[in-house]
Amino acid sequence: MNDLFKKMDIKTEDIKIPEKIVDQWQELLDMFVQFYGVQDILINNYQAPYLEVKKASSNPDNLFFEGEQFKLEGLYCEDVIESKSSLEVKNAAEIKKWKNSIYMENGLVAYLGYPILWPNGEVYGTICLHDNQKRDFSSQLKKQLKFVKDLVENNLKSLYQSQINYNLNQYYSKMVDSLPAGIMIINQKGQILKVNDAIESMTGYSKDELVGNSIFETVVLAENIEKAKKDIQKIISGKTLTHEVITSKKNGETSYSRMHEKRIKLPNGESGIISIQSDVTDKVESENKIKYASYHDSLTDLYNRSYIEKQIQKINREEKLPLAVIMADLNALKLINDSYGHHQGDKLIIKTAKILKSSCRGEDLIARWGGDEFVIILPQTDLKAVKKVVQRIDRKIADEYLNFENGNKLPLSTALGYAVKKYNYQDFFDILNEAESKMYKNKLTESRNIKNRIVSTLLKSLDKKSQETADHAKRMIATAKKFAEALNLSQAEMEKLISAAELHDIGKTVIPERILNKKGKLSDKEWQEVKTHSAVGHRILNATEDYSHISEDVLSHHEHWDGSGYPRGLKGEKIPLLARIIAIIDAYDVMTHDQVYKKAVTKEEALKEINSCVGTQFDPELADVFVKIFSD
């Protein structure tokens, strides 16, 4: 505690003594002089090296006056102050130390004085009396003078304690202000009595804007006022609360505060509340993000399967009947992913999610059920109503396309299935399975159609990019038929060859038009991009039921007999037969027709070039047959 008092830094010389107390001292001194008939009585204040008369008896023959100052040296009071004990001089003329003192010059031969001390032991001054005749002070007089001294010291003690209390309050206020936690003290009505610096930082309000005002007009949100009032009553009744509360800031923003609140006794004796607060906005928002992420699909921002499975118990109730379920499955997502990359597939998923959301009500639950599947749960929705929702989704899907930077545009397609739980005894998962079965049934027909539509769309987009590419495909078909007949291919092999000839360049749909139509030489980077078209074509065709059987031929049509081709560097008969045939047909057609980067050569020159590449680029036997039939 002494260390704490040292921190208080109490300076007794700075303590102000109220005039009311000083006036009481004056009355005591005057009464004392009248009763005992002494020359004077003084209360002196010592401020080294001077002694100042603080109060003097007001009798006319008093030689001292209020405010008069003396150097302490040589005074009776010097002994009292230095020894902190009383001094009695009955006759100064008989005492060597005093017989030549200043007092003898003024005839003050008798003296009685006591030290006045502060509670901490420091000397405030003295209370003393003088007389102009030698005097043997009675015990009664001494007792009364000491009584006056005690009264004065009690006054000083009260003033000192008040200063301690004030300094303690200031000390604790500074200490509270320095705490990182917010401190707020309110009364039972919610009026703010005290806040620390941290509350200012947390709320944006200054102390002046908070203290004296109500929490309901400052930091409590309007929608939380009633709850806050109930919480106050709980705390005042003796309950301690620890809770997280959304609070309002001066700028209109909100924040999360963790509050520990308990009842305290206020200076006026009434019960109040101290609220210790910490800003947990970052923590709560982080937790909310984690919680949100655990129940939402990161790509579409719809609910995920985990959330729906948790909500089924809540929504699968009698009051929610009839309860409809819609299952949706994206057609051709794999085709889009394989052809254009997963980032384009993601766009397809996002577009579809937006359509589903815009087609439903706010109370309907929409979730991404799996990779390309969605589920919609519609409470209080009968068969007629759910059919309308499905029709609305179908219309919106039919009007949407997936647009690519290279100008391609692919239609969206979704297989839908739905079912309705009418009665409480029905199992919800049976309804879900029914909707899923209907969806897969629709997908069997729709998926194949949409994939073929996508391939057709890709071919059309390729035609728009380059008319030469379209003409090239047509000539390839004609040449393939003639070559197939010469090779005695079966009808099935011939049809397969014709399809591969038509679609061998479908992978070029992902190549930018500026590269396909570039007149000058391609850069290394551009050439590498062009070389991807066979692999892209393979992925597109492999994802479709009607064309997957030719995907290997399309993939390999740029492989060379000697293994120097791309994309896999296959060699000899490891290259599929139809791919080897297409390689010759493709090279012949390209050489004999103008290209944006090169003029056509004659038929003879093209056949001569094919002959020169026998065993390196082309299959020797196939090349020999080709040259013979096209030399005629």
pLDDT 10s digits, 219-274: 999 999 999 999 999 999 999 999 999 999 999 999 999 999 999 998 888 999 99
Q: How many residues does the chain have?
A: 632
Give pLDDT, residue 168. 65
Give pLDDT, residue 392. 96
Please enumerate, as own/partner, the contacts of 627-632 that have beta carbons within 8 Å and a separation of 24 or more.
629/482, 629/483, 629/486, 630/588, 630/603, 631/607
* Per-domain boundaries in the chain: 4-166, 179-285, 297-454, 466-631
- Is the pLDDT at 173 greater than 90? The verdict is no
Average pLDDT over residues 394-407: 82
Question: Is-same-fold flag (179-285; 466-631)?
Answer: no
- Is the pLDDT at 1 greater than 70? The verdict is no
Separation CA 113–CA 152 (nearest Å): 14
- Assigned token pair, 76: 């009776």
Per-residue pLDDT band for 545 (boundaries 50, 70, 90) equals: confident
Give pLDDT, residue 463. 64
**Which range has the worst mean pLDDT, 139-143, 440-444, 562-566, 575-579?**
440-444
Mean pLDDT of the chain: 90
Per-residue pLDDT band for 462 (boundaries 50, 70, 90) equals: low
Q: Which residue has the tokens 């309308």?
A: 388
- Is the pLDDT at 4 greater than 60? The verdict is no
User: Tens of pLDDT along 381-398?
Assistant: 999 999 999 999 999 998
Q: Which residue in 173, 174, 253 sits closest to 219, CA to CA?
A: 253
User: Tens of pLDDT along 341-354?
Assistant: 788 889 999 999 99
Q: What is the pTM of this model?
A: 0.60
DSSP for residue 514: H
Separation CA 150–CA 186 (nearest Å): 41
Per-residue pLDDT band for 5 (boundaries 50, 70, 90) equals: very low
- Architecture of the domain whose range is 4-166: 2-Layer Sandwich (3.30)
Q: At 551, which amino acid appears?
A: S
Count the Cβ atoms, other than its own, within 10 Å of residue 374: 27
For 297-454, which CATH class?
alpha beta
According to CATH, the topology of domain 179-285 is: Beta-Lactamase (3.30.450)
The CATH superfamily of 466-631 is Hypothetical protein af1432 (1.10.3210.10)
- Assigned token pair, 568: 């896999």
Give pLDDT, residue 14. 84
Please name the residues in contact with 496: beta carbons below 8 A apart, sequence gap of 6 or more. 549, 550, 553, 578
The bridge status of strand 373-378 relative to strand 365-368 is antiparallel
